[in-house]
């Protein structure tokens, strides 16, 4: 079978693709090697208020306390490694929690339930410290663009975002798309 492209044509196409791929890679370098947020929240600008992230964290902690009140329930719900070996009685669960919490317990890392205990403790700590790391405020959906965008943005910055930055600790991204 004969090709309709000559070697020179193929070479030119490859050069164009190389240039295009280089430009693309410069603009879109891919995943960052830096740590990525565990949880990104996208919320409409019309419902954003100071304390939104804190309220979400309290809600998440409340759900953990209700549906996974201990590391055993947590492990079984998520079917974490060793979940089928963990005891069911409250007395045995309490004994394991005490054993794992003790700094002098040797060999606890080898216990089948230690992984679940560690993950559970880290989730609780993360929720209490920083439940929402990355809050994206979306001006696109459900937002009345008949108002002047600059005036609304100034109000958000003055009254909500600045105090919010101090409680959030990571990043806030404003997304706006004017409707035509």
Q: What are the domain boundaries of the chain?
A: 40-175
pLDDT, one tens digit per residue, over 34-74 is 877 777 888 777 777 778 888 888 999 999 999 999 999 99
pLDDT, one tens digit per residue, over 126-161 is 988 888 888 887 766 555 554 545 555 666 655 555
Q: How far apart are CA 119 and CA 26, in angstroms?
A: 38
* DSSP code string of the chain: ---SS-HHHHHHHHHHHHHHHHHHHHH---S-SSPPPS-EEEEEGGG--TTHHHHHHHHHHHHHHHH-SSHHHHHHHHT-TTGGGS--SHHHHHHHHHHHH-TT-TTGGGSTTHHHHHHHHHHHHHHHHHS-SEEEEESSSS--TTS-HHHHHHHHIIIIIHHHHHHH-SEEEEE-----
What's the pTM? 0.60
CB atoms within 10 A of CB 80: 19
């Amino acid at each position: 079978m004969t090709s309709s492209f000559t070697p020179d044509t193929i070479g030119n196409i490859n050069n164009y693709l190389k240039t295009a791929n280089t430009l693309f890679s410069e603009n879109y370098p891919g995943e960052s090697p830096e740590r990525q947020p565990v949880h990104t929240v996208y919320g409409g600008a019309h419902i954003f208020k100071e304390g939104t992230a804190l309220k979400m964290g309290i809600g998440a902690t409340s759900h953990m306390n209700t549906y996974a009140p201990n590391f055993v329930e947590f492990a079984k719900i998520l079917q974490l490694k060793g979940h089928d070996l963990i005891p069911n009685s409250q007395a045995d669960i309490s004994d394991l929690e005490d054993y794992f919490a003790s700094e002098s317990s040797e060999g606890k890392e080898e216990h089948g339930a230690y992984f679940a205990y560690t993950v559970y403790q880290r989730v609780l700590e993360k929720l209490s410290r920083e439940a929402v790391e990355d809050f994206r405020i979306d001006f696109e959906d459900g937002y009345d663009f008949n108002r002047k965008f600059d005036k609304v943005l100034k109000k958000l910055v003055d009254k909500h975002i600045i105090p919010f930055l101090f409680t959030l600790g990571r990043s806030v991204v404003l997304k706006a798309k004017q409707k035509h």
